Amino acid sequence: MSDWKPRVFWTEARAVPATGGYTVELDGRPVRTPAKAPLVVPSEPLAQALAGEWAVQTEVVDPTIMPLTRTANSAIDKVTHQHADVAEMLAAYGDADLLCYRADSPAELVDRQNREWDPVLDWAASELGARLAPRQGILHAPQDPVALETLRSRVHALDPFELAAFHDLVAISGSLVLGFASFLTNWTGDRLWEISRLDETWQEEQWGVDDEAREVAALKKAAFDDARRFMSLLAQDSGRS
């Protein structure tokens, strides 16, 4: 496998208006996605953030420090053409949502899950119109079909850019409800992450911290925060806020 990376040839990266939204120009040349489509996003603040990722590149392009650009590329090259399939995949998390599967012991863990997760399910019932029911154990038990259809409709209503970021929010947290809460509430990213990591935190408290697991968790947390930032920038100055 080749480790070739495109070299940096530009001196200025800036966001500019384009047909359908805003794009990034490198010394006046518009950026294209890996599939050669125009890199056009609907929000000027998001385009400015993308330009910032291109501006800090040195010598060769390093995609690992361009999370917002990667998500925009995914929205344009992939999600736009597979919207229904991606939406269906994510909606399926509702029937096996992390927040619904509870321990039956020890009592301290049961109490913590109830205390931390019940308010989030209550929020989903109130604000999303979908009541998901908790159950003990890890065996699958179907949720109310009406609630699932309500959540499904909300997922399908997301546009390709929203859905690309939403994919990471849901897949990383393991929760469709937390995915929605990530951009429909004012809960902080740290708080949402703590909620999603409740079981892991409990295990660490009992048995200690594994260094490798901590490194993996840190990478996931960074990706989760990047997805929230993408969604926030998308909502600014684009008619979504």
Asked if 184 and 127 count as a contact pair (C-beta separation under 8 A), the reply is yes
Give the DSSP per-residue string, 120-161: HHHHIIIIIS--PPPEESSS--PPPHHHHHHHHHHHHTS-HH
pLDDT, residue 59, reads 82
Taking residue 239's Cβ as centre, other Cβ atoms within 10 Å add up to: 7
Query: Whole-prediction pTM value?
Result: 0.93
pLDDT, residue 60, reads 86
Residue 57 three-state SS? coil
CATH of domain 13-66: 3.30.2180.10
Fold of 81-235: ATP12-like fold (1.10.3580)
Q: Which ranges of the chain have pLDDT less than 70?
A: 1-5, 238-241
> If phi over 0 gives left and psi between -120 and 50 gives alpha, with beta otherwise, what is residue 137?
left
pLDDT, residue 1, reads 39
Q: C-alpha angle 37/65/58, rounded to 5°?
A: 90
How many whole angstroms separate alpha carbon 84 and alpha carbon 175? Answer: 19
Domain spans, the chain: 13-66, 81-235
Half-sphere exposure of 111 (CA within 13 A, CB side): 3
pLDDT, residue 5, reads 65
Give the DSSP per-residue string, 61-72: --GGG-HHHHHH
Backbone torsions φ then ψ of 38, nearest 5 degrees: -60, 135
pLDDT, residue 85, reads 98
